[in-house]
Chains A and B, each alone.
Chain A
Amino acid sequence: MKYLVTVKSVEDPEIKIKIKPDGTSIETDQVKYVVNPFDEIAVEEALRLRDAAGGGEVVAVTIGRKDAQQQLRTALAMGADRGVHVVCDQPLDPTLVSEALAKVVEGEKPDLVLMGKQAVDDDQGQVGAMLAERLGWGQASFVSKETSLESEDEKAKKPGVSIAGTTLQVVREVDGGMESVTVTLPAILTTDLRLNVPRYASLPGIMKAKKKEVKELKLADVVADPTPKVKILKLEPPAQRKAGIKVADVPTLVTKLKTEAKVL
């Protein structure tokens, strides 16, 4: 079984994003980059599937700047077997990314593509379904599991999804509950938060990752026309809330909510 996982390099979600004064982009000086947290979950799930099956290959793919290779190496340090890096330093959109990934998938021929349900920078959440459509594959988005992240299965690092023959069985987080779906392989799944807790890269893992193969491709190798179809015209900060007050006790709070805010 061959698993392909996507790894997007994103700004550390814990830092405060600053917009450049001209509103064209965000400040990137001194900004730390990390693996998109949802993609880490996808990498973890692929590793668990491979290890539970006692064999297979996990290929990690990134599309982006030269130095995004650091995030690809993080996936390799977690345990992915090798990497593919589509090197480009230009604006991308989900249409371009899905076209590029479709090309990589055609070359790699994985049985299962695992990717985060969204990247925490652009928050679009489109690439998984777009890729599935391009390939004519089945998809399962927002894949989760019924057991909690504090369960024994999670501690034992069991995969949250199961594969029998060419059928993938998953549980999806949907509005109002949990949905079970079976998908015929090859297929695409996108990971939700509670599928697993990703492992940290170990020191030996980091050492090994340095020697693992990373194939570099150019954007022109994988897309026909590099013009994004989503053009970002302007970035601005959201409207700020005006500062509130601290109240001393519950009776004061109730009075304020009744007479001032008029919500009780």
Chain B
Amino acid sequence: MSNVLIVIEHAAGAPKKASLAAITFGQQAAQKTGGQVHLLVTGSGVGAVADKLKAYQVAKILVVDAPAFANHSTEALTAAIAAAQKSTGASIVAAASSSASKDVLPRVAARLGAAMASDVLAVIDASTFKRPMWAGNVVATVQLTTPTKVVTIRSTEFGAPAAGSGAAVEPLAVSVDLASFKAKFAGLKEVKSTRPELTSAARVVTGGRGVKGAEGFKLVEQLADALGAAVGASRAACDAGWVPNDLQVGQTGKIIAPDLYIGAGISGAIQHLAGMKGSKVIVAINKDPEAPIFQIADYGLVADLFKAIPELIDAIKKA
């Protein structure tokens, strides 16, 4: 009988979709541990987020609400998560894989003397999980042998959580002194986009080296807009500075699994495939018939993308 603590991320007053998938993981894991699912929300002015989380089948929602948690601070979050683990007696502490959780949770694991599994794909039992290795070319079954375990989960592998009601919302007091921390937040340059968020979008259009430049990438964006899709990119397109870095799909970038993935001018290096091969339908447009992406594409079109994409946009608009 030990509880599972899920660390929630939020944006614009609502929990992120990836964090909802983490609650699903929590519900699955709690069945194995025989305990309850507890959530932790941190931030400044996060009452609305906690309220929205009451719609799910969880026992308790802990809220750390203080100005010190307005911006990302590894040390502040580590203190909050460690305090929440103590308060809930959780044997598993988990969060959806994100730049924040990948930064903080290993630090939490070290503080709690916990072993950790990253990017978990499935729950086997209370201490055993499946996770990817070697760019997803191997799936490992791993056992964490410490009493407390820390996990990040791959949100594309877990669906929506079971609904519920009656979760208790409780404030958790965590006193932190930002001035005493070794690392200090100094600013965030946000990439503003009106398009759907890449990791949770139902449709994604990505561009790679074959797009040839920032100018060519506009075609990819136009196709995405015609489809109401998110935009992604291969490493080559990000390295060249044609698009913001956080659009990179792959082993070390974003992991996506949309209903429809369209890759234009992407050859399909294994590092890229690691980030998108969970997509339901994969379309590849590339003028090189030997491009490796065709091996995993449901529909491959060998064509010059500068001709094919405008044609595709027209066809979609007429439909």
Interface residues of A (CB under 8 A from B): 11, 13, 16-17, 19, 26, 38, 93-95, 98, 117-118, 120-134, 137-142, 144, 146, 148-151, 169, 172-184, 187, 192-194, 229-238, 241, 243-247, 249-251, 253-254, 256-258, 261, 263-264
Contacts and interface: CB of A to CB of B under 8 A. Distances in A.
A123 B119 contact: yes
Given A173-B246, A230-B115, A254-B312, A238 B107 contact: no
Interface in B287-319: 289, 294-303, 308, 311-312, 315-316, 319
Contact of A125 (B118, B182, B184, B277): B118
A220 to B, nearest CB: 20
B102 interface: yes
Interface stretch (B52-60, B62-70, B83-91, B135-143): B135-143
A138 B110 CA distance: 14
5 contacts: A133-B111, A134-B110, A229-B144, A230-B116, A237-B137
Contacts of A121: 133-134
A177 to B, nearest CB: 4
A126 B111 contact: no
A225 to B, nearest CB: 12
Contact of B315 (A125, A141, A254, A263): A254
Contact of B186 (A169, A187, A192): A169
Contacts of A183: 182-184
A130 B107 contact: yes
B128 A236 contact: no
B302 A246 contact: yes
Nearest to B115: A229
Top 4 A-B residue pairs of the complex, sorted by shortest distance between their CB atoms: A138-B182, A148-B241, A229-B115, A133-B110
Main secondary structure of the interface of B (DSSP, over half): mixed
B31 interface: no
B163 interface: no
Contacts of B185: 179-181
- With most chain A CB atoms within 10 A of its CB, the pick from B138, B248, B277, B298 is B138
B251 interface: yes
Interface stretch (B34-42, B169-177, B232-240): B232-240
Interface of B: 72, 74-75, 78, 98-100, 102-107, 109-111, 115-119, 128, 132-146, 181-191, 203, 235, 238-241, 244-246, 248, 251-252, 259-260, 270-271, 277, 280-283, 289, 294-303, 308, 311-312, 315-316, 319
- With most chain B CB atoms within 10 A of its CB, the pick from A19, A94, A123, A184 is A123
Nearest to B128: A233
A235 B103 contact: no
B299 A244 contact: yes
Contacts of A241: 277, 282, 296, 298
A152 to B, nearest CB: 12
B259 A263 contact: yes
Contact of B300 (A120, A237, A244, A263): A244
Nearest to B239: A149
A118 B190 contact: no
Contact of B296 (A125, A229, A244, A264): A244
